[in-house]
Each structure stands twice: as C-alpha cells, then as structure tokens.
Chain A
Amino acid sequence: MTAVPLRAKPSRAGFRAQQRRLNATAYGFIAPFLLFFVLILLVPIFYALYLSLFQNQIIGGQTFIGLANYAQAFTDPKFYEGLGRILLYLVIQVPIMLILALFFALVLDSGRLKGARFVRLAIFAPYAIPGVISTLMWGYFYGGNFGLIAQIFKGIGLPAPDLLSQQNILGSMMNISTWEFVGYNMIIIYAALRSVPTELFDSAEVDGAGQWRIAWSIKIPAVRSAILLCVIFSVIGSFQLFTEPSLLQTLAPTTIDSSYTPTFYAYNLAFNNKELDYAASIAFIIGLFTAIVSYIVQFTIQRRANRA
C-alpha cells in the first residue's frame, strides 16, 4: 500500500531535480545571449524611454516633463511631413525594388544566363559599397551642371533634368536605395529558390509548362516566405530611411531639410539642436509605427496566402 507512493515520490522529485538541472543548463547556454540582449537592447531602450520624459535646456538644465515630448511630437508638422514622405516612398520604392529582385533571382535561377556568377556579383556589389564612395559617385551622376546625366542630356541636345529639385529628389533617392538593396534582396530570394526541389520543375516541364508558368506557379509560391522576409526588411528599411537623405543632403541641402525623414529629423534634433530628449521620443514613436506597419503587412500577406 505504501510502497507505490514511496516509490513514486522520490522518482517525481528526482525528475524535477533533473528538470531543474536541464533548465539550468539551458539557461547557461542562453545566458550570453540574454546578457547582450539586456545590455545592448533593453538597457538603451529603457534609457531612451527615460530620457524622453525629460527636457534638457541650455539654460535651466534637465527637468521632468512627463509625456510632453510625445504630445509635442504628435502635433509637430515637421514630423508628419517626414512620415508622409516615407509612406509615399514605401508604396512606390518597395514594390519596384522587390519585383526587380525577384526577377533577377528567377533569371539567375533559371540557369539560362551566361556569366551568371558575374551578374550575381555585379548586382550585389552596391550593397557592399561604403556610403562615402556612393556619395561621391551619385554626386557625380546627379550634378546639375557637370554631372554625367546632365552631360548626356546636353550631348544629345535636350534640356538636362534637375534630379535634385523638390519634385524629383524623392525619385532620385528611390533610385539610389533600389540600386543599393536590390542585390541584397535578390540574394535572399535566390538562396530560397536554390532550396526548392528540382523534381518539381522537371515534372512541370514534362507536363509542358513553360519557364514563366513554372516561375509563376511553382517557384514564386515556394519562396513566398523569403519574399515576405524581404518585404518586412524593406518596410523597416523605409521607416529608417536615413543614409540616402544624409548622403544626398550635401548635393541638395535646401531641398532635403533637417526633417526630411523621421529618423533624419531625430538625428538632427539630437546633434544639431541639442534636443536629445525630444529626439528620443521621436525615435520611440518611429519604432512603434514601424512595428505596427510591419505587423499589418505580415498579417495581410499571410492571411491572403492562407486563403489562396
């Protein structure tokens, strides 16, 4: 009668002890990650949150002002202008770039391209070019008087377009980021394509499907998750649009003002205006927006995919 519980008890306790040991080992393994996660991500975030609740004046120093910085941000026309601009950028640039990336990846994957290795490298290379070099390069391309594009137009007797004007600058910027990131996205999609079993294509070909049909009905659905990843990356990238405006600002300093995009605005607030606290609250709002929009994008795409 007593034997069963007696036998059961120590074994359960032993099991728990073993479980604890296993858990401890697991925690030990993830401890380095946790440590850096806390140090590099959580601590700074909470510090930014803390800062955003203060106001730091040249005369008067630091004072606690609660959520006043957030209230200011939500009524700041400069912030909204920048936000509107990147939304426009998002709906135009991201589709163009991803369609190009997908197209290049499919062409490379089809194996019908001569010199595919070179093409792959050439498309990817801009991603590895340092910002300073691309500034010089695009400065030379876009220059209004002696720029390459202007010279070509003049050479064939046409008026040179002002690529740095108020109307054209966003397009010029989209061009640069497409040039820079199309290769990066292409590599992600291409890698996913390589892992699709080739038997599928072979049997489709036997059934008489052409390359376009194979791409549309087999390859693209097979790499859907990679494409989704690219979309999310690009959405986040758009919200963090900073390099291109700061790169083009030297060329078009009055067209790209200090609040051209929200991140650029936050940077200028922190460095030029010494309004670090306000910059922190702007950064927080950008983070929130990015999370919401990324979620909506992911949710919509996945739901549509599930329905299909």
Chain B
Amino acid sequence: MKRKSALAVGAGVVAVALLLSACSSSGGTTSSSKVSAADITKAMSKSTTLNFWTWAPGLAPEVAAFEKKYPKIKVNMVNAGQGGAEYTKLQAAIDAGKGTPDVAQLEYSELPSFTVTKSVVGLNQYGAASLKSQFTPAAWSFVSAQGETWGLPQDLGPMTFIYRNDILAKAGITDAPKTWDEFATDAAAVKAKTGSYIANFNPTESAQVLGMIQQAGGNPFSYDGKKTVSVDLQSTAVKTVSDFLTKLIQSGNVSVDPGWTDDWFQAVAKGHYAGWVVGAWGPDDLTGSAGNTSGKWTAAPMPQWSASDNVGGDWGGSSDAVIKGSSNPIAAYEFVKYLNGDSASAKEMSLNPKSLLFPTKKSVLADPAFAAQKVAFFGGQTANQTFASIAATVPAGFGYLPYMTYASNDYNDTVGKAITAKSDIYTAMAKWQADLVTYGKKQGFTVNTK
C-alpha cells in the first residue's frame, strides 16, 4: 500500500507532465506582407467554425450579429475558465499542438507570456495597425509591442475610488479625497467615527498595487520581445507607493483581508468596508452580493499623488488574440475586429447588462448612450462619464513580464506576506524583485535591473 501511494504522487505529477509535456513551439515568423481584400473575401466565404475562448458572459448578441454578417462563419464560444484557469488549458493545448482555439481572451498582463512562445498571431499583416487611433492610448499600448499588434483591446480597468457616500457622510466627509494624503486622513476619520474601514487592500492583489505604481509614474517591467527583460521594483515611484501603503496599513485605518471570500462579500454588504480602490469593473462584482447597498455608492477618480496631478492607473482588462494554429486566421482576425472594433458591437458589449465590459473604443466612450447613462448602483450618477475621463488619463506604455503568472504568485509570498504582517512593503518589493530576477535567469532570460 505504502509504495503504491508514494508512487501515486509521482503519477499525479506525471499526469500533469503528460499534459504540458516538453513544448517546442513551432517558431513561425510573422509575415509582414499585407493580406489583400481579395484574400479576406475568400476567407470570409469559406465555411469555418471559429472557437472563441472567453469568460466574458453574454457576448451572444454580438456574436450573432457577426454570424449574420458573415453567414459562412460560425463562432463557437467556450468558457474555458477565468484568467489563470484558461491560461493553463491554453498552454496545455499549445504544447500538445492540438485543441487550440482560434481566438482567446487574454488579459493584457498575460499577452507577453504568449508572445514569448510565439503562440499568438501578429495582426499587422491583416491591417490591425490602422485601428490604433480608434482605441484609447493605454489600451492600445497594452496590445502593441515590438512594432507588432498582438490582439485587439476588449476592455479596460481604469482605476476608481468607489465609496459609500452615506458612511463617509457620517464621518463628515462630503467630497472624495483628492490626494492619497487626504485619503489617509479620511481613513482615520471614517475609522474613528463610524468603525468602518475606508477601504480594504487585498494582500494578493498585485494588479492593484501595480496600478498605483503606474499612477505614480513607475513602469517596473519590460520585455524586448526576444530574451531580455527588466525588473525595477526599487524605483522612486515604487518607493512612494510602498511607503504610503506601509504607513496606511500600519495605522490600522484600512483592512487587509483577502478578497472575494464569503467574509469579504459580507463585509462589503454590511458596510464594514466603506469603499474600494478598484478598476471600473469593480461595481459589477458587487451588484449581486452587495445589492442591498445599491444607490448608496459614489464613483470618484483614484486619489492623486500630488494635488496638481491628474493621472490614472489601470487594473485589469483584456484583449482578444488570434492563436497560432487557427485554420482560418483571417476570419479569426475579422471576428476580433468586428467584436471589438465595430462601433455597434463595441457599444453593445459595454451596454449589455450581462457583459458590461468597460469600453476601450473612443467612439463608445464618447457616446451619450454610454457616457450619460444614469447608473442605479451609483444613485443615478453618470459614473461611466467619470470612468471614461479616468480612462483618458491612464498612462500608455505600461509593461509586463513574459512570466506574469509566476510574478503574481510570488507577489503573494513576498509583498502579500508583508501586507498581512503589516511590515515594510518596500523591503518586500526588493525581495519580490530578487525572486523575479532569479526566476527570469533560470528561464533563460537576460535580466536587467536598475
């Protein structure tokens, strides 16, 4: 018995091994030759079923509209899991060389992890570069790198501070904090007068802290598309954010509970947390479990590092990319272009009560149907207008590493641990950096630090 079970451990890992076995991605080079209009017509009249992996719900109307326009093309939507769950399956399919979708939803932070293995198709050959001006600069910069376009932006998470105006009013606060210093002062007032926390900072949310670093002018990661990456988590911007958070957390005026647990949802619903610093998609996560608080919320821009600033940050957002191995990549691209680039489709996607994807397309952001919408959750505030103006201030060109899954996991073990323990975050950032350097080198990258 004992031997069998001991070996079963090995067997379990091997099952994984078989799935992900020794990848050797076929390193096809991206052809820069443009695809002609005739090629597109031909591709769109060829009977094709496109497999589209996405976890965004309710995209059926947009897909149906596409199928109506191109009757030969069928789109088969598959929810292969959200985020990491999908990437694991996608990576396994890529390694196996079969079962890959034609189009997959990939978060911006994960795109480099798939370009490094040459698993996504460069879209400039189909004319994607010409779409640049239609999207917000930040969104476009996430999908373009090394002069190539690796996907089209689907949604964005411009960071906002949403708060319970009734709780803040009890603490004598009528306006949202303009700066992070004001935020800290307000946090103390809210805690003292109402017992609630002005916000909770989930210790495992690297994307939230990276968004704040982005706002402070930092850009800690970069990847040259070949084999060089750089990591700089000891910059002034990182120090500003780290020291602020260390002090804020140590003051005890904000909580550091893990997010999306039963306890967390209850804490939001019961006003234990009076606010949340989050991407514009945040409210959608609350409408269900904290539905009883609907109408009591106000959306405001994320506080600034200096009173004279007006800079945003991004938390989340994803693109749709064409996956290498697609039998009809032209049709796959045309679908991605239609879904996210067609004005009607992109608008529908943002107004659709099921998907509610925050738009990346300028025309939708400016559209009164979107911008002037009175949002019930925010008591009739035209919150989309607020988010749209934040989206315009998100700096373009924020980079990611080609191994973000490891990075965000290791963040929990280093910075996350420090947040929970209320110890110095800047020191933990140095530890995170050291791990990222070691891992990068081990994976064969040349790693630069400043």
Q: Residues of A at under 8 Å CB distance from B?
A: 40-41, 44-45, 47-49, 51, 54, 56-62, 136, 139-140, 143-147, 166, 229, 232-233, 236, 239-240, 250-255, 257-259, 263, 266-268, 270-276, 279-280, 283-284, 286-288, 290-291, 294-295, 298
Contact = CB atoms under 8 A, between A and B. Distances in A.
Given A58-B403, A145-B272, A253 B204 contact: yes
A290 B18 contact: no
Interface stretch (B7-15, B51-59, B98-106, B210-218): B7-15
A212 B382 CA distance: 75
A232 B2 CA distance: 7
21 contacts: A47-B18, A48-B10, A48-B11, A54-B22, A56-B23, A58-B402, A59-B227, A60-B444, A61-B24, A143-B261, A143-B266, A146-B266, A146-B270, A147-B263, A250-B258, A272-B405, A275-B442, A280-B14, A290-B5, A290-B9, A298-B2
Contacts of A263: 9
A257 to B, nearest CB: 4
Interface of B: 1-18, 20, 22-24, 88, 91, 116-117, 203-204, 227, 257-258, 260-263, 266-267, 270, 272, 402-403, 405-406, 409-410, 412-413, 416-417, 419-421, 439, 442-445
Nearest to A287: B6
Nearest to B13: A283
Contact of B11 (A40, A58, A61, A146): A40
Contacts of B412: 253-254, 257-258
| The 5 nearest A-B residue pairs measured at CB | A143-B263, A59-B444, A44-B14, A294-B2, A57-B444
Given A236-B2, A257-B417, A272-B409, A251 B261 contact: yes
A136 B263 CA distance: 10
Given A59-B444, A254-B417, A48 B263 contact: no
A139 B22 contact: no
Contact of B257 (A51, A144, A280): A144
A107 B6 CA distance: 33
Nearest to B259: A253
Given A146-B263, A276-B16, A279-B13, A295 B444 contact: no
A122 to B, nearest CB: 24
A162 to B, nearest CB: 10
A275 B409 CA distance: 14
Nearest to B405: A272
